[in-house]
Amino acid sequence: MKTKKITFGSNEHKQAIDLRNEFLRKPIGFPYLNDFPAEEKDWLHFVIMDDKEQVIGCVVAIRKNKTSVRLRQMAIHEKHQNQGVGRTLLSYAEKELQRTGFETIVVHARKDTAGFYQKTGYKQEGEEFMEVSIPHFAMIKSIGTAK
């Protein structure tokens, strides 16, 4: 497997959009209607690929301010779940974000994935809330400063 930061509009980005659409958006009734949502142009995109160069996992980071980002739409293809793929991708994204100067990561974790984030060092902040008709928890992790 190979982790990497990708650019908006690349072939890997298209694959990530398809993955997010299939496993995150369609099941809740919010499919993308086009390939490249314009708001993503300034987001940071990370993927993990299999040996055939196919994207099997992705996550995006949105700058909140100079030192913090919000992770969104982390998706791992169902064939690769519970095999450490998500943990590998998340670890890579965190290291890249730290290297570029970010200190804090926030995520709105779906209730059924909050345990995954807790196991990787995220702390719950506040009570359960609804977002896109699904129960979520706000979670936060300090990644310190790049050395």
pLDDT in tens, 80-108: 998 999 999 999 999 999 999 999 999 99
Query: What pLDDT is recorded for position 33?
Result: 62
Query: What is the per-residue pLDDT across 44-53, written as a single tens digit (0 to 9) for each?
Result: 999 999 999 9
pLDDT over threshold 70, residue 62: yes
Predicted confidence at residue 146, as pLDDT, reads: 55
| CA dihedral over 14, 17, 19, 21, signed as positive or negative | negative
Name the band, by pLDDT with cuts 50, 70 and 90, for residue 25.
confident
Q: Which of 141, 118, 146 is nearest to 68 (CA)?
A: 141
pLDDT for 70 equals 97
Distance CA 67, CA 109 (A): 20
User: How far, in Å, are 41, 78, 98, 102 from residue 66 at the CA level?
Assistant: 18, 34, 12, 7
CA distance 35 to 38: 9
The single-letter DSSP state of residue 73 is: E
Q: Is the pTM of this model over 0.75?
A: yes
Give the residue with greater pLDDT, 36 vs 116.
116
Please answer whether residues 58 and 45 qualify as being in contact, where contact means their C-beta atoms are separated by less than 8 angstroms: yes
Confidence of residue 23 (pLDDT cuts 50, 70, 90): confident
pLDDT at residue 32 greater than cutoff 90: no
Between 133 and 98, the more confident residue is 98
Grouping H, G, I as helix, E, B as strand and the rest as coil, residue 5 is: strand
Mean pLDDT calculated for residue range 18-45: 79
* Contact in structure between 44 and 97 (CB atoms under 8 Å): yes
Phi, psi (rounded to 5 degrees) for 22: -70, -45
Across 15-24, 55-64, 102-111, least confident range: 15-24
Q: Among 35, 37, 80, 31, which Cα is nearest to 55's? A: 80
